[in-house]
Structures are given as C-alpha cells and as structure tokens.
Amino acid sequence: MEDFQIGQDLLYSPKDDVEFTIVRESIRRKLKIICDEVVVEPTKGLRKLPRVQHLCAQLFGRLRREDDEFDILASLHPSPAVCGLPTEEARQLIEEQEMFDRGMYAGPVGWFGGMESEFAVGIRSALVAQKDFNTLIYSGAGIVKGTNPSSEWEELDLKTSQFTKILQQHEPQVCSRELKNASITIIND
C-alpha cells in the first residue's frame, strides 16, 4: 500500500509535474530539430523499480537527416534535468559555482546497434577507484518553484543511501574507514 501511495503522490505532485514537464518538453523540442515527427507515449507515466519510482515518458522520432550518432547525442545532452534551463546560462553557473568537474555524472548511458539506439541519463551514479576504493557518489534533486528544501534533502539522502549500503555490504572494512573520511558530493541538478 505504501508503494501505491508513493506512486500516486509522485503522479499528482504539482512540483514533480513541473519538473517532469520541463524536461520532457525540452527533449521533445530538441528531437523536433533532428526528426520529422516526434511522438510522446505516454505523456506521463510511472515507472516502478525495486527501490525508487520515476515519472517517465518515451519519445520516438525518425531522423530527418543523416547525422552521425554522436552529433545526435551531443544535440540531446546535457538534459535539463541535470543542468537546468536556460541550458547555456545554467551550464555557465554550474562551472562557476561547483568546485569539481562532474566527470561522468549526468552523461548519456546507452547503446547503438543496427538502426536503433537507446540512451538514458546517468544521474544516480558512483565512481569507485580500483586502487583504494575511494568512491564518489553523484545524485541530484530538481529545484523548481514550489520546491521544499527539506524534501529535496530527504530525496538526496534516499538516493545516495543505496550506494552507501552496497559499499558497506561488499567491503565493510574499507568502507567503514573510507566513509568516515570521504566527502559525498551532492549535486543539485
């Protein structure tokens, strides 16, 4: 029952609807530049995963011209979900304010094959150094009108907690020592 209520809260939250609509429409506009027609199905749905639920929509389009797949990817990224709008101004602000390079965080993750491809944005991610097991955990929260800062912090805590639990289970000696000294970087996207 709790899972159902969480899903309903997400589907009908005005704040989450604004955040989702901004991202979906931004990507749809970007696709219209390179595709003849863009179809959005469903306009808003709920995707349930073992530990999280997301608002989702699939966008389909047939390419208008023969662009290189890397050019297409470049035109679609970064997602406004991780940098904000207007994109260029947001990217500049991020570069000025953040004290580190985001590296792989929020980049495209996916595949090309034959005449198809599928990509997602690597928002919740962890980078583990093989040598010393130092770990950078990346996550973010959407800040829009109506955002409750306490709720966003709780959301970030929930998102990063899955990584810390896994790290503690698989390398308890290293993780318990490293987590005390590690700084977990939380990125507001």
CA neighbor of 108 nearest in space, from 118, 116, 120: 120
Q: Round to whole Å and give the CA distance between 43 and 55.
A: 10
pTM score over 0.85? no
pLDDT higher at 131 or 59: 59
pLDDT at position 45 is 93
Q: Are 26 and 47 in contact (CB under 8 A)?
A: no
Residue 8 has pLDDT above 90, yes or no: yes
pLDDT at position 176 is 39
Give the pLDDT mean for 7-20.
Answer: 91
pLDDT digits (tens, 9 = 90+) for 126-147: 877 777 778 888 887 777 777 7
Q: Round to whole Å and give the CA distance between 105 and 109.
A: 10
**Percent of the chain residues topping a pLDDT of 90:** 13
In whole numbers, what is the pLDDT of the chain averaged over residues? 78
Q: Are 42 and 57 in contact (CB under 8 A)?
A: yes
Q: 128 forms bridges with which residues in the sheet?
A: 135
pLDDT at position 179 is 36
Domains of the chain by residue range: 1-76, 102-189
pLDDT at position 1 is 66
pLDDT digits (tens, 9 = 90+) for 155-187: 888 888 888 888 787 654 444 333 333 333 333
Residue 11 has pLDDT above 90, yes or no: yes
Tokens 């970064």 — which residue?
78
CA neighbor of 140 nearest in space, from 124, 154, 164: 124
Residue 73's pLDDT band, with cuts at 50, 70 and 90, is confident
**Percent of the chain residues topping a pLDDT of 70:** 87
